[in-house]
Every structure is written in C-alpha cells, then in structure tokens.
C-alpha cells in the first residue's frame, strides 16, 4: 500500500505540515517546573461543581508554579451544544474567579496558541491525520451503522470484548482500489487509528492523583476523525494539548479507561506525553452509603444553584479547598486571615477515590467566611446578589446604603463575630424587619395579658431616650420590670419559675417584638439606634394601638 498516495487521496487540500505547526506554536518560555494547563470543558449549558473542582485544581497548579492556565472550549459534539452555552461557561467561570491567562473569550480568543474553540481547529487536526495516514498509522473506515451493530451483536453472542479490533477491524487492510471505489460512490468514512497494541501487554504508569497504575495496552482501532471531519475527544486531546504545550492534563477520572489509547496516540504522533492528574468524582452521603453526585438527583451539583442561593464565591472556593486538600483546614486555622492563594496546594493530596461533598459543612464554612467580611463588602455582594434574585430587596438596599451598611455592621469586627448569614438568601429574614415594608405584626406569648404588654410598652415610651448608652437603656428596662412586679433576678426565677409572673427577659421581648415584629433579633439597643428615635417610637406606638 502506498500510504503517501492514500494520505494525498484523503486530504488533498492539506498543505501545512506538522513542522510548520511546531514552528507556529513554539515551546513556551516558562520557568523550570512551571505547569502549563487548561480547562477544557464542553459547552453543554450545564456548568457543575466538578468543573469548578477541575478548574481550581488546574488554576492552583498553574499559578502556584508560575505557569499558564488557558481555557479551551471542546465543542466537537455539535449535537450536544446549546446556543449561548459558551458564554454561560465563560461567565460562570469568571464569576468563580478562575483567572485564565489565555483562551476563548466572548468574542474570540486571547493568546498565541489558538484558536481555542475546537471546531475552528479542523484544519490543524487534518495535518496530523494526514501524517498518520502517510505513515500507515491511520486508515479510512467505511463501515455502516448496520455493519457496526452486526459486529457488536456477533461479539456479544460469542462473549467477546466488543469493539473494532483485530479480525473485526474490517477496513484495516483494504486495498487502494476498494477505498477509491467507496470514495467515488461518495460514501461517508471515518478515520481510524491502526492500533499495534495487545491486551496481553501491560505497563506501569504514574498518575499524579491515582498513583502507580498498571495499564493494559489498547488494541482497538478507535475513531480519530468523525465522518464530518471533526475529531473525537481523543485525537483533539492529543493534538491540542501538544500544540498548546500543556504539561499537565487535569481532568475527571471518567477518562481513565481511554488513557491507554491516549498514551498510544501521543507516541504514534511523536508527541511528548504530558503528566496526568485524574480527579475522582464528587461523592455525597446518601443514608449510610456514598454515591456520586448526580445531575438528576442533586440540584447542588449545578453551579447556578450556589449563585441563586447566594453563596459568596469566596465561601465556595474555601470549601472546595477543604475537600480537595485534607491539610487545608489546619492551614486555615493557623492562618485565619491569609488569602487562599498562600496555601500550598498539592494534587497529591486529592483523594484518589473522589472527594466527599457535604452541604452542611459548606454552609458552616460560608457562615465563617461571611462573618469575617467587613460590612461594606457584605453590602456590595448582597446587593449584587439581590439585584438578580430579589430586586425588591435590592431597591431598598440601594435606596439608603448607609442605613443598610450600619445594619450589616452589627456584631462584626470583634473576636467573635455574629454568624447569622450563610447565604445572601438569609439576609432578608435576618434584617428585613428594618424596612417598614417587610415588618410583620408581632404575635405575643399568650401567657401574658395584653394589658401587661401594653403597659410595658407605654412605660418604655415615657422613659426612652436615644441618647442613653446601652447600660442606661437596660437599666430603664429593668426598672420597668420591677415596676410591673416581674423579676430581674434570673437565678431566682430559674430556681422557682412559679414565684414570678415574668422576668426582665420577657419585658425585653415585648419591646423587641414591638420594634422588630419578631422574638429574635440582633442586640435590640443597637437595632433601635440604627432605626432612630422616630421610627422606633412609631413602631412601638403602632403596636400599642393594636393591644
């Protein structure tokens, strides 16, 4: 067989050579040990937590080593592509702060190693396809769907491994005449790799997460180019990661079964094999057993979920670090205020079997993260969230920024900051009562007569002075308590509750309910300071009028 002639026959228009491409995309000028890596998601419209795990792992590995992170859009599967999905992808990754040095952007590319959308690289793949054919390492296959299913059925009946290999590789050794005849008839073809591997042979391989693996050689003649000339993932992976000068491939471990083929393909193409970082799936507890997070069952798999709930990006990031590197939490305890980038991330610390995702833990982490933010930062992030997910609330926040910031400042900054908010969605239930529109009428404990409550509120209004400090304010509440025959001695009350009609805590609650509509609120003295005299008095008076 004249392979050169076959290559010319199949790819008459390809005039570029691998050498030209090598020159066009030179080795990068990166420092010794720098990791050049990428995110290579498919634009399916669904960006999930697994993408983020992969993204943060590759981002850390690249930037921690002075390397490069780029974004490559793997859009070879046109059937699965949803319009606008590339933009959703780019925007979501941006929202999570994954800083790409180069790659696909909304309106094109940034960087010297593109195009960064695979469908725009068809010409590049064909250069290497032609090379493989000219060397007798790839060949066209004209099998029809029917022939392939007949093959599969026969293999199943014989209890053999299914696939296009060995004696089943029908087009492996056809003559030029047979190929020419098919081409003349206009029949579609795919390009297949001519595997020289044998399943009898095994070799050792080192994965940065999985450790030492024993790999069985691939003997299947996998498809390199589909009938539309677009490459399969495997071929695009080899060509792109070579030409983009990727040193480390960080990807999900669903690719492990085809790794033997990838290794073989890099070798056949004369490419240096990158290092591999195969990440296990995200798991969750379901009852007492672990299972993979599933798109169908678990809304928390979608990144849109975290945005809509209002988890700050910082919190999600912080949490993902805790599940990726087991020593992150210890580091955080020792360095409570350090930026996560100062942590020494290591792919070796990833759990080879996959990380366990625990929603309750994320909520905890998020509470901590928010509690450490300043009121201004909370205000900015909350407002940004509310603009998208609760426009009415956003309007109120924007209408009086100083008011909102002073509310959000309550209990912040000290050694033990309050932890009321885990997500921005919690903010309205927590602070909504400050806004008259969200204020609810109180429902008092029916152990107390309306008359008693009313007299407490009336007495309070006669003594209330916003100029009082917190101690003076509370002394007045205590004085009212005693006047109505309730006790300020909580110890005595606990020892014998029947001895007293009520306590200073009940009196405080009456006032709290009148001012906030609820039994729980941040420090009431502070709340009233922020509301101001006029609104505090107005609210108490309005409640008195209902009693």
Residue 37 CB neighbour total at 10 angstroms: 30
Nearer to ligand GLU, 40 or 530 (CB): 40
What is the footprint of ligand GLU within residues 206-245 (CB under 6 A)? 237
Quick one: 100 or 385, whose CB is closer to ligand GLU? 100
Q: Pick between residue 48 and residue 539 the one whose CB is nearest to ligand GLU.
A: 48
Beta carbon of residue 350, minimum distance to ligand GLU (angstroms, whole number): 15
Selection from 272, 284, 192 nearest residue 232 by Cα: 192
Q: Does 310 bind ligand GLU (CB under 6 A)?
A: no
Instruction: Tell me if 242 sits within 8 A of 214, measured CB to CB.
Output: no
d(CA 10, CA 319): 51
> Distance between CA 182 and CA 141 in Å, rounded?
10
117: contact with ligand GLU by CB under 6 A? no
Q: How far apart are CA 315 and CA 321, in angstroms?
A: 10
Q: Which of 263, 288, 287, 261 has the alpha carbon at shortest distance from 273?
A: 263
Find the shortest distance in angstroms from Cβ 426 to ligand GLU.
Answer: 34
Site string for ligand GLU, 336-375 (x = CB under 6 A): ----------------------------------------
Using rule CB under 6 A, residue 98 touches ligand GLU? no
Shortest Cβ distance from residue 102 to ligand GLU (Å)? 16
Q: Which is nearer to ligand GLU, 41 or 140 (CB)?
A: 41
Residue 251 engages ligand GLU in binding (rule: CB under 6 A): yes
Largest distance between two CA atoms of the chain:
110
- Write down the residue that tokens 């080899």 correspond to: 238
Contacts of 373-380 with C-beta under 8 Å, sequence gap 24+, read 373/312, 373/412, 374/412, 374/413, 375/405, 375/406, 375/408, 375/409, 375/412, 376/405, 378/408, 378/412, 378/421, 379/404, 379/405, 379/408
Binding residues for ligand GLU, rule CB under 6 A, total: 8
Nearer to ligand GLU, 86 or 249 (CB): 249
* Closest to ligand GLU by CB, 122 or 199: 122
- How far is Cα 527 from Cα 532, in angstroms, rounded to an integer? 9
Which residue, 257 or 336, is less far from ligand GLU as judged by CB? 257
State the Cα angle at 97 between 40 and 246, rounded to 5°. Answer: 30
- Residues 52-91 touching ligand GLU, rule: CB under 6 A, are 74
Q: Which stretch binds ligand GLU (CB under 6 A): 3-11, 137-145, 248-256, 257-265?
A: 248-256
The answer to whether 512 contacts ligand GLU (rule: CB under 6 A) is: no
Compute the least distance from the CB of residue 56 to ligand GLU, in Å.
14
Q: From 34-42, 104-112, 361-369, 441-449, give the range in contact with ligand GLU by CB under 6 A.
A: 34-42
Site map for ligand GLU, 37-56, x if CB under 6 A?
---xxx--------------
Strand arrangement of the beta sheet that strand 36-39 belongs to: 36-39, 68-71, 102-105, 108-110
Nearer to ligand GLU, 42 or 529 (CB): 42
3-state secondary structure of 125: helix
Token pair of 188 as six digits: 């579609």
Closest to ligand GLU by CB, 40 vs 179, is 40
- Tokens encoding 286: 């379901």
Q: Which residues lie near ligand GLU (CB under 6 A)?
A: 40-42, 74, 237, 249, 251-252
């Amino acid at each position: 067989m004249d392979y050169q002639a076959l290559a010319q026959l199949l790819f008459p228009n390809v005039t570029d050579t691998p050498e030209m491409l090598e020159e066009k995309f030179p080795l990068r000028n990166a420092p010794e040990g720098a990791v050049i890596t990428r995110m290579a998601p498919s634009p399916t419209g669904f960006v999930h937590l697994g993408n983020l795990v992969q993204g943060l792992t590759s981002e850390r590995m690249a930037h921690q080593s002075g390397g490069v992170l780029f974004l490559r859009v793997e859009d070879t599967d046109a059937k699965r592509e949803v319009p606008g999905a590339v933009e959703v992808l780019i925007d979501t990754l941006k929202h999570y702060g994954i800083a790409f040095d180069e790659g696909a952007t909304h309106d094109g590319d940034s960087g010297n190693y593109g195009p960064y959308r695979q469908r725009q690289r068809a010409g590049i793949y064909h250069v290497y396809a032609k090379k493989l054919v000219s060397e007798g390492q790839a060949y066209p296959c004209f099998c029809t769907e029917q022939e392939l299913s007949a093959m599969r059925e026969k293999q199943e009946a014989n209890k053999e491994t299914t696939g296009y290999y060995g004696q089943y590789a029908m087009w492996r050794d056809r003559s030029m005449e047979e190929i020419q005849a098919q081409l003349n008839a206009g029949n579609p073809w795919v390009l297949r790799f001519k595997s020289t591997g044998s399943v009898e042979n095994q070799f050792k391989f080192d994965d940065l997460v999985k450790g030492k693996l024993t790999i069985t050689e691939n003997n299947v003649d996998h498809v390199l180019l589909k009938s539309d000339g677009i490459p399969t993932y495997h071929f695009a992976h080899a060509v792109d990661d070579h030409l983009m000068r990727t040193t480390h491939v960080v990807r999900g471990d669903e690719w492990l079964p085809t790794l033997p083929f990838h290794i073989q393909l890099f070798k056949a193409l004369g490419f240096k094999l990158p290092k591999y970082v195969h990440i296990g799936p995200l798991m969750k507890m379901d009852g007492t057993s672990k299972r993979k997070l599933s798109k169908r069952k678990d809304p928390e798999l979608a990144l849109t979920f975290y945005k809509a709930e209002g988890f700050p990006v910082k919190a999600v990031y912080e949490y993902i670090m805790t599940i990726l590197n087991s020593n992150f939490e210890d580091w955080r305890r020792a360095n409570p205020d350090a930026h996560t980038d100062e942590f020494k991330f290591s792919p070796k610390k990833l759990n080879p079997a996959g990380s366990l995702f625990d929603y309750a833990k994320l909520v905890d982490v998020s509470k901590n993260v928010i509690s450490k933010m300043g009121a201004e930062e909370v205000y900015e992030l909350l407002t940004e969230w509310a603009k998208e997910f609760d426009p009415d609330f956003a309007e109120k926040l924007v209408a009086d920024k100083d008011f909102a910031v002073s509310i959000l400042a309550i209990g912040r900054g000290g050694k033990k900051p309050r932890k009321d908010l885990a997500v921005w969605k919690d903010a309205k239930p927590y602070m909504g009562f400050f806004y008259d529109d969200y204020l609810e009428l109180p429902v008092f404990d029916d152990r107390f007569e309306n008359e008693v409550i009313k007299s407490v509120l009336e007495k309070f209004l006669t003594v209330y002075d916003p100029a009082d400090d917190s101690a003076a304010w509370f002394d007045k509440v205590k004085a009212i308590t005693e006047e109505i025959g309730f006790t300020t001695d909580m110890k005595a009350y606990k020892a014998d509750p029947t001895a007293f009609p009520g306590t200073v805590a009940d009196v405080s609650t009456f006032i709290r309910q009148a001012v906030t509509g609820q039994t729980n609120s941040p420090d009431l003295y502070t709340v009233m300071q922020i509301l101001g005299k006029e609104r505090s008095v107005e609210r108490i008076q309005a409640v008195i009028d209902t009693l």
